[in-house]
Structure 1
Amino acid sequence: MRNGTFDLHCDVLSKLLTGEATAFAGTGSEKLDVTYEKLIASDAWLQTYAIYLPESYPSTFSSILQCVDLFYRHIASRAEVAFVRSAAELQAAVDSGRLGAMLSLEGADGLQGDFTALRILYYLGVRSLGLTWNYANWAADGVMEPRGGGLTRQGRKLVQACNGLGILLDVSHLSESGFWDVADLTDAPVIASHSNAKSACDHPRNLSDDQIRAIIAMGGLIGITFVPWFVSNKETVTIDDLLPHIDRILSLGGEKTLAFGSDFDGIDRHMTGLADPTGISPLRNELEHRYGDTLAMACLRDNALRFFLKQLPK
């Protein structure tokens, strides 16, 4: 069996949207952390591509559709890439050895409360949704919003609509009050696609022990992220600094909950040795050395594979 990896979050589409990159492969992709070539070299099984609108872009459905169009033209159109919208498509991608690609929405701002737009995104293949980025929108408060509010009335409807459609909810970036509102409301387990353990690094974007326990209890998924300032307060952050986050989640019973969500292309500073998908190989070696092969591959692949095969539409 191939080694294989899953990555729950990257921001390739934002760089394509702004023109910082003009291609996903070959010429024009030089400014990308995640490229087709690097994913193949790292033996990736599935990469999730987030639709994130930079603050310089209008928060409109038209802007979201621009990102969807970029995904279709640059990524899903490649013969070697399998667009994953269902459990069956994920299994087929794994069986065939093709590179899986999944589409998510990071921040519901551009939907502007329009649930027809949400349904259109589902038809176009979006399979997970983060209600906010760092700040407040029509649905909820983000984790950096000073008032720390939870879901709005429309936000509660959004959770229910996502449950009804089969769009998974991503609680990374959501305020703590919003997190608990979602946990109380949702019928499906949630993802924290790119968040770490607050007890290992006290950053607002990381998860408290209680939040981690809640995600574990509902059978969700936590993507340990490579954002240096979410990992450690040290100036130089290495793979070793990820291990306390993994240890903490394991100590809370999360051996089936751990995954990775790099946030590649969403950051301007990288961990030493983890600047792009090719850094996964030394990470795998370190995980195998510390935890053994079975747990290492659970974190890198098996937990996410099991989760998505169960939770994606059939």
Structure 2
Amino acid sequence: MIIDCHCDALLKMWLHKVDFIDDVVLDVNRQKWINSPVRVQCFAIYVPEHIPTESKFIIALEMIDLFIEKIIKPYSDIKWIKQKLDIEELKSYEKGAMLTLEGLDCIGNDLFKLRLLIRLGVKMIGMSWNTANLAVDGIGESRAAGLTDFGKKVIQLANQEKVWIDLAHISTQGFNDAIELANHVIVSHANSRKICDHARNLDDEQIKKIIEKNGLIGITFVKDFVVKKEKATIADLIYHIAHFIQMGAEDHIVFGSDFDGTDQFIEHLSAIDNYWSLQLTLHQRFSLKQCQKISYLNFLRHFPS
């Protein structure tokens, strides 16, 4: 069993008007998913930067509609995950799909919009996507500011509603501010900056803070987050996992592939049905208990409740 905390299939489905069942443009489609060991897949709502501000919330709702109409409703063996029990009650032949939000641009300064998204099933709130929004700066914003008062209200709401705050893409100051306030912390897709010096990766101090906060780190398969050389292999990814474990994060690692969010992947790990190759390598390198923790147990144990 594997749980994957991040993919952008909804974005591709919205952009390209493709169907979920078997379209080859998707790294995560029904056919590939059924042929993979992934039991639960998180689907991110990411509204592209070029969308006019006044249209962003509508696009977010359109993506939720796609999730329901194209992923949930047509298939009796795909269940909508809204709570931990939904995962625990999955039958052996069933898959689980969960909604997440990547970036707060779509809500502007309207907290009621975020409340609505949570009521529609969003279980993970990404505070930013590289650039600034009204809650916090992203990692790509030169100002590098932390949480605004509105951003603090977002975290208060997340704590009340028992949903994750996702610190992928956030500024360093924003990370420090948010990790102090949030009850349920995750970085859905990032690796180790010590192993690969990428701005979106986590330095050792951030890793320690996530461990202290009892949060989660989603190992990502984006090549530039894994190595600086031309090609990345599964063996290169293992170095990141080993470093996290060495740092004491064995109980805090999950997967956050970022399938459909990039075209720069690790060799033999570019779609959801390639998870078999990663699973094999994991079991060769780590103990059974460690593999179970990374694959699904850590996610389940930290699920907000």
TM-score (ref. length: structure 1): 0.93
Q: Which residue does 1:133 correspond to in 2?
A: 129
Q: Which residue does 2:79 correspond to in 1?
A: 82
Instruction: Select which of 174, 179, 184 maps to 1:178.
Output: 174
Instruction: Select which of 108, 113, 119 maps to 1:117.
Output: 113
AA of the residue aligned to 2:100 = S
CA shift for structure 1 position 292: 2.2
CA shift for structure 1 position 275: 0.8
Question: Aligned partners of 2:290 and 2:49: how far apart in 1?
Answer: 39
Q: Which residue does 1:92 correspond to in 2?
A: 89
Instruction: Select which of 283, 293, 304 maps to 1:298.
Output: 293
Number of residue equivalences:
302
Question: Aligned partners of 1:136 and 1:39: how far apart in 2?
Answer: 34
Q: Which residue does 2:34 correspond to in 1?
A: 40
CA shift for structure 1 position 97: 3.7
Question: Aligned partners of 1:58 and 1:257: how far apart in 2?
Answer: 37
Instruction: Select which of 12, 18, 21 maps to 1:22.
Output: 18
Alpha-carbon contact 1:189-1:215 (below 8 Å) kept: no
The reply on whether 1:241 has 2:248 as its aligned counterpart is: no
Cα RMSD between the aligned structures?
A: 1.2
Percentage of pairs with the same residue: 39
Alpha-carbon contact 2:38-2:275 (below 8 Å) kept: no
Q: Which residue does 2:46 correspond to in 1?
A: 52
Q: Which residue does 1:196 correspond to in 2?
A: 191
Q: Which residue does 1:262 correspond to in 2?
A: 257
Alpha-carbon contact 2:145-2:174 (below 8 Å) kept: yes
Question: Aligned partners of 1:189 and 1:253: how far apart in 2?
Answer: 19
Alpha-carbon contact 2:224-2:264 (below 8 Å) kept: no
Q: Which residue does 1:104 correspond to in 2?
A: 100
Instruction: Say which SS state the counterpart of residue 89 (structure 2) adopts.
Output: helix
1:42-97 superposed Cα distances (whole Å, 9 cap, x missing partner): 1211000000012232342111101111111111212111100112212112x454
The reply on whether 1:12 has 2:9 as its aligned counterpart is: yes
Question: Aligned partners of 2:212 and 2:93: how far apart in 1?
Answer: 32
Question: Aligned partners of 2:118 and 2:108: how far apart in 1?
Answer: 16
Alpha-carbon contact 1:5-1:45 (below 8 Å) kept: yes
CA shift for structure 1 position 252: 1.1
Question: Aligned partners of 2:50 and 2:298: how far apart in 1?
Answer: 36
TM-score (ref. length: structure 2): 0.96
1:6-37 superposed Cα distances (whole Å, 9 cap, x missing partner): 10000001011112x511113xx210000111
Question: Aligned partners of 1:166 and 1:113: how far apart in 2?
Answer: 21
1:199-252 superposed Cα distances (whole Å, 9 cap, x missing partner): 010100001111111111121111000000000001011001111211111111
What 5-or-longer segments of structure 2 have no aligned partner? none
What 5-or-longer segments of structure 1 have no aligned partner? none
CA shift for structure 1 position 113: 1.4
Question: Aligned partners of 1:165 and 1:275: how far apart in 2?
Answer: 34
CA shift for structure 1 position 304: 1.4
CA shift for structure 1 position 297: 2.2
Instruction: Say which SS state the counterpart of residue 256 (structure 1) adopts.
Output: helix
